[in-house]
Amino acid sequence: MNSKDQLQQTMAVSRLIGAAIILTSCLTATAIAAIQPGQPGFVGRETPSVSASAMDAPSAPKKFGDLNQDLAYTPITPCRIVDTRNTAAGAIAAGTTRNFVAFGISNFTSQGGSSSNCGTNPLAATAVNLAVTAITPALGGSATLYAFGTANPGTTSISYPAGAVVTNTMVIAVPNPIASFDVSLTSSQPSHYTIDMLGYFAPPVATALQCVDTALSAVTAPPGAEVNLSAPVCAAGYTETATQCLSESWKMPLVFVSGGICSAKNNDTVSTTLRASRKCCRVPGR
């Protein structure tokens, strides 16, 4: 065999080897692809399968700042809204229910409570934080405090032995819209009760700003003159919300008003006065 024949034979063998390698690689890739996550021999990160319908389904929008859902809690100095010892009806009889108002009236004397409104009038609360106390019942028993106009949940708000004074604190949702009463109290045994308001949950209400005007600064403008005047600065804790300028002549119009600076030109034939002040505001209590 001459050198040319040897070369052609070598090239043919090489082509056969290359084809075998390619075929082997394809078979191996196919076998690997057939191995599912969780089976022996699987290599890689398992990812949850997602159906086409799930991928196409829009996600529910999230709500922020919804006044029907977001509530602010306001604590108050504990204030008595109910004291059955001070009412004509007296103690709540066994197995009976009595209804009470928790807020939004001028006083609570008709319920044996405070002669004030407890700082809750006017108010549109969604829930109230109450402390209910059973006072020296003759027999041991329990009571349930719940929203007026709803079914008694059958749960116990407070349990007491005979002759004891027992208190429990709870948050009670109130009717929405507002009804004749706010809460109901059902007693298993004859007992006097007191109810104290500790605070309430209500939709957030914007706080009105507390604003004051600074003193006036003044400058005299000669005829034909242009003048600039700076108003007194706001006191500590206050922020400027407006610049207030006053020209004492219709012939001296204002040409610039901003940032506590007033500018004007006196077109009159006599001197006149320009005055300036700032309106300064803050959130009350800060």
State which residues form the domain around 257: 210-282
pLDDT, the chain, mean: 82
- Residue 63 forms part of a structural domain: no
Tokens standing for residue 16: 């056969």
26: in domain: no
Is 86 part of any domain? Answer: yes
Residues 96 and 171 in one domain: yes
Q: How does DSSP classify residue 187?
A: E
Residues of the chain with pLDDT below 50 are: 2-4, 7, 10-14, 16-38, 40-55, 57-67
Q: Is residue 238 part of a domain?
A: yes
What is the rounded distance in angstroms from the CA atom of residue 94 to the CA atom of residue 187? 6
Same domain, 113 and 187: yes
Q: Are residues 83 and 169 in the same domain?
A: yes
> 183 and 149, same structural domain?
yes
Instruction: Tell me what pLDDT residue 205 has.
Output: 73
Considering the domain architecture, whether residues 242 and 123 belong to the same structural domain is answered as: no
Are 111 and 177 in a shared domain?
yes
Render pLDDT for 197-255 as a digit per residue (tens, 0 to 9). Answer: 999 998 877 778 899 999 999 999 999 999 999 999 999 999 999 999 999 999 999 99
Contact, 183 vs 89, CB < 8 A?
Answer: no
Q: What is the pLDDT of residues 76-92, one digit of tens each?
A: 999 999 999 999 999 99
Total domains, the chain:
2
Q: Of 169, 202, 235, at which residue does a domain stop? A: 202
Q: Are residues 173 and 270 in the same domain?
A: no
Specify whether the backbone of 163 is left (phi greater than 0), alpha (psi in -120 to 50) or beta. left
